[in-house]
Amino acid sequence: MRNKDHRLLKERVLTIAELSANHGRDIDIAKQTIKAAAKSGADAIKLQTYTPDTMTIQSEQDYFKLNHDTIWDGRTLYDLYEEAYTPWEWHQELFDYAHEQGLICFSSPFDSTAVDLLETLNTPAYKIASFEITDIPLIGYAASKGKPMILSTGIGTIQEIHDAIEACRRVGNDDITLLKCTSAYPAKIEDAKLNTMVNFKNTFNTEIGLSDHTYGSVVPIMAVSLGARVIEKHFILDKAIGGPDATFSMEPHEFHEMVNDVRQAEKALGQVDYSITEQKATSRKLARSLFVVEDIGPGEIFTEDHVRSIRPGYGLSPKYLPEVLGKKANKAIKKGTPLQWNMIKDELNNLTPP
């Protein structure tokens, strides 16, 4: 499993189930969720490593109250994070359990102490959350560990994304994947703007992917068709558990369907291939070719009355029709015969079969 971790499945799209707060502060629910993610086809489970005190301070001042048109409006940041965080003492057990289930397990650190904890767990990668895209010291510190960096870009300007990438490259880490993310919970499909994800690759020369908060699988499948190498979705065992992220999280059957669709999309994309396969060769027999469509006698001149481009494909290529017209038949040819070079006199223009 460790080798699988460090390759991060680069040979195919990496599907990540985001545990986030979907454990109801119950480690047994967290483990059941991890097991369900594995059964649903996820490649990886991702945690979030913070405490309320590493995220903010406890304060009733308006600065610290949510009033930003979110599903959490009216709560303080501290109260929200106190409900949502994954206890640090769970991490080792959850990492071990995920590995037992055949999953890659890694996390989003939110400060340097979280990076230090994750290093003790041999995390195979670091995911930087959208709202930490401007925390250049954190990004540089995580990147300095030499692990793949997955950067979510939800609130970032193009300059801030550039700064985050440069923070990684300054410490010699160029294993970077940028995730297009719409920082709305849930997000509208029309706000996905996946062409921005394509532009990431051209602008920043990184791998690309999607951290998605829309309902359903449409946006992830479109992202794969546009070159995404990572798809991340919030995952919950049952929405009845509730919690801050429940409404926009996928249940197991939904995630399973999405993964199947992703794999089908990968198959449809395939590799660049101009070869003539056996199936293609068989199909080519139904393509157009040159046929004699009226009886013609020896020495008669081929005209459009005698030769046409029709199906099937047993005669000469239609591209040779202008070359054939005006030439003479060197023998009698019956209607319905596929035209071949050995049926055409070549003494007038030194016609040479290809």
Where is the domain boundary, 224, 246, 269? 269
Is 147 within a domain? yes
Is 234 within a domain? yes
The Cβ of residue 336 has, within 10 Å, a number of other Cβ atoms equal to 11
229 and 314 in a single domain? The answer is: no
Is 316 within a domain? yes
Q: Is the pLDDT of residue 1 over 80?
A: no
pLDDT confidence tier of residue 72, bands split at 50, 70 and 90: low
Is 76 within a domain? no
pLDDT confidence tier of residue 49, bands split at 50, 70 and 90: very high
pTM of this structure: 0.86
162 and 283 in a single domain? The answer is: no
300 and 219 in a single domain? The answer is: no
296 and 179 in a single domain? The answer is: no
Is 10 within a domain? yes
Q: Is the pLDDT of residue 70 over 70?
A: no
Is 305 within a domain? yes
Span 128-144, average pLDDT: 97
Number of domains in the chain: 2
Range of the domain at 291: 278-343
200 and 318 in a single domain? The answer is: no
Where is the domain boundary, 269, 302, 324? 269
CATH number at residue 8: 3.20.20.70
* CA-based max dimension of the chain: 102
206 and 284 in a single domain? The answer is: no
285 and 141 in a single domain? The answer is: no
Is 204 within a domain? yes
163 and 285 in a single domain? The answer is: no
246 and 289 in a single domain? The answer is: no
178 and 307 in a single domain? The answer is: no
Residue whose structure tokens are 């499945």: 9
262 and 294 in a single domain? The answer is: no
pLDDT at 2: 42
What average pLDDT is seen over the chain? 92
pLDDT at 90: 98
CATH number at residue 302: 3.90.1210.10
pLDDT at 62: 84
191 and 298 in a single domain? The answer is: no
